[in-house]
């Protein structure tokens, strides 16, 4: 096997492909894909990507190999100090059978920013894109065809070095796994209730809130549990310093819509910069909306709904795209969004436009799509 030891961004890597002898047959795969119960993140394709990094050798030994367990030394740094980052994007099947993904260079750039914050090595953008293409080359048949379904791609990277001292690891691996995902909403996009956590925060100023790292999710779980206990689907966090500015949900960004065609979304250095958010704001600007990215207090939201100024609120992220918010509940108060017809919701019409572009039904006027199977 040829190994390329140069970590230079311009150097192309030589890939090794090891086929899975126990790969699902066409019938087995079709049965899984057509079961109507794909859900999210429950079943995985036959292969995965694995690239090594070491302090001395840089990125090397890129390969596609059978999907399966990763052998880890019990002293592997990630298990103790959580030095880890990840990404999430989707592969979409178009009507002509071709396979596409959405703004993957943005995911690559964000993974580099996340890696920097976690003192991990930065994977060059072309390796990131190549890793996804290599996986699709062997597992492309796993991209489902039913409406609103996709193949969710999960690139991730973690500290593999066996060492209990506290410092950035000198050995890291990057992987990509893939999981066919069902339509997030079956039978229409239903507005959800959101729990406002006044006890917990997910990230603070100077912390790692803007990095896509498992630690932020670990910090959100107990609040998410509280949300479930209060009959809510998701949790909304406020800023850690004053507890009055909106941040985001556990894994989605939040947007308010005003009667006079403004979209308001919080700005803070502890929010994860969503690619769905950025794309939705772009589409809204194209429609003549004004976008305000600035600190927003929970009081502004409450008063805006009371005065009739704020008419919609939604959450957005790759997994569910856009989810309208029907109410905010907290230990002390609630905010009830006005009831409006689905056909009048800007959130849903933006959702239709965005998914229309992703699935190739609407012209890709911003050049957001990248073909994966050619």
Ligand X SMILES: *Cc1c(COP(=O)(O)O)cnc(C)c1O
- Which positions lie near ligand X, rule CB under 6 A? 88, 212, 216, 248, 251-253, 272, 274-277, 317-318
Other C-beta atoms within 10 Å of 218: how many? 11
How far apart, in whole angstroms, are the C-alpha atoms of residue 232 and residue 226? 9
Q: Which of 41, 60, 44 is nearest to 52 (CA)?
A: 60
Minimum separation from the CB atom of position 144 to ligand X (A): 19
Task: Output DSSP code: residue 269.
Answer: T
Minimum separation from the CB atom of position 212 to ligand X (A): 5
Element (DSSP H or E) covering residue 262: strand 262-265
Minimum separation from the CB atom of position 149 to ligand X (A): 17
Q: Which is nearer to ligand X, 191 or 209 (CB)?
A: 209
Q: Which is nearer to ligand X, 54 or 210 (CB)?
A: 210
Minimum separation from the CB atom of position 270 to ligand X (A): 10
Minimum separation from the CB atom of position 254 to ligand X (A): 9
Going by C-beta distance under 8 Å and a sequence separation of 6 or more, which residues neighbour residue 264? Answer: 255, 256, 257, 258, 292, 294, 296, 310
Q: Which is nearer to ligand X, 178 or 275 (CB)?
A: 275
Minimum separation from the CB atom of position 209 to ligand X (A): 8
How far apart, in whole angstroms, are the C-alpha atoms of residue 237 and residue 235? 7
Query: Which 3-state string (H, E, C) describes 295-316?
Result: CCEHHHHHHHHHHCCEEEEEEE
Q: Which is nearer to ligand X, 79 or 319 (CB)?
A: 319
Q: Which is nearer to ligand X, 126 or 278 (CB)?
A: 278
Residue at token pair 């979409």: 92
Put residue 56 in one of left, alpha, beta given phi > 0 → left and psi -120 to 50 → alpha. Answer: alpha
Other C-beta atoms within 10 Å of 128: how many? 22
Q: Which is nearer to ligand X, 15 or 245 (CB)?
A: 245
């Amino acid at each position: 096997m040829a190994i390329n030891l140069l970590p230079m961004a311009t150097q192309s890597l030589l890939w090794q492909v090891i086929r899975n002898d126990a790969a699902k047959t066409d019938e087995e795969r079709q049965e899984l894909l057509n079961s109507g119960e794909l859900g999210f993140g429950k079943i995985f394709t036959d292969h995965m990507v694995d690239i090594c990094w070491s302090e001395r050798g840089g990125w090397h030994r890129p390969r596609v190999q059978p999907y399966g367990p990763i052998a880890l030394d019990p002293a592997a740094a990630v298990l103790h100090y959580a030095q880890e980052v990840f990404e999430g994007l989707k592969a979409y099947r178009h009507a002509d059978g071709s396979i596409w993904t959405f703004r993957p260079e943005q995911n690559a750039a964000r993974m580099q920013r996340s890696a920097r914050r976690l003192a991990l090595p930065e994977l060059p953008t072309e390796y990131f894109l190549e890793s996804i293409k290599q996986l699709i080359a062997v597992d492309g048949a796993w991209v489902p065809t039913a409406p609103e379904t996709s193949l969710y791609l999960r690139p991730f990277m973690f500290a593999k070095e066996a060492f209990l001292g506290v410092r950035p690891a000198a050995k890291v691996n990057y992987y990509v796994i893939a999981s066919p995902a069902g339509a997030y909403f079956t039978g229409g996009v239903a507005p959800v209730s959101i729990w406002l956590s006044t006890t917990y925060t997910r990230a603070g100023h100077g912390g790692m809130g803007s990095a896509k790292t498992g630690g932020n999710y670990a910090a959100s779980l107990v609040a998410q549990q509280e949300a479930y206990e209060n009959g809510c689907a998701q949790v909304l966090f406020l800023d850690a310093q004053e507890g009055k500015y909106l941040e985001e949900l556990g894994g989605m960004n939040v947007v308010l819509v005003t009667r006079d065609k403004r979209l308001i979304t919080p700005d803070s250095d502890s929010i994860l910069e969503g690619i769905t958010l950025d794309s939705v704001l772009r589409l809204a600007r194209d429609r003549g909306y004004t976008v305000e990215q600035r600190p927003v207090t929970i009081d502004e939201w409450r008063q805006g709904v009371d005065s009739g100024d704020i008419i919609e609120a939604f959450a957005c992220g790759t997994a569910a795209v856009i989810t309208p918010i029907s109410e905010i509940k907290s230990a002390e108060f609630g905010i009830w969004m006005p009831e409006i017809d689905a056909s009048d919701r800007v959130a849903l019409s933006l959702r239709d436009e965005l998914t229309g572009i992703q699935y190739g039904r609407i012209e890709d006027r911003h050049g957001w799509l990248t073909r994966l199977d050619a």
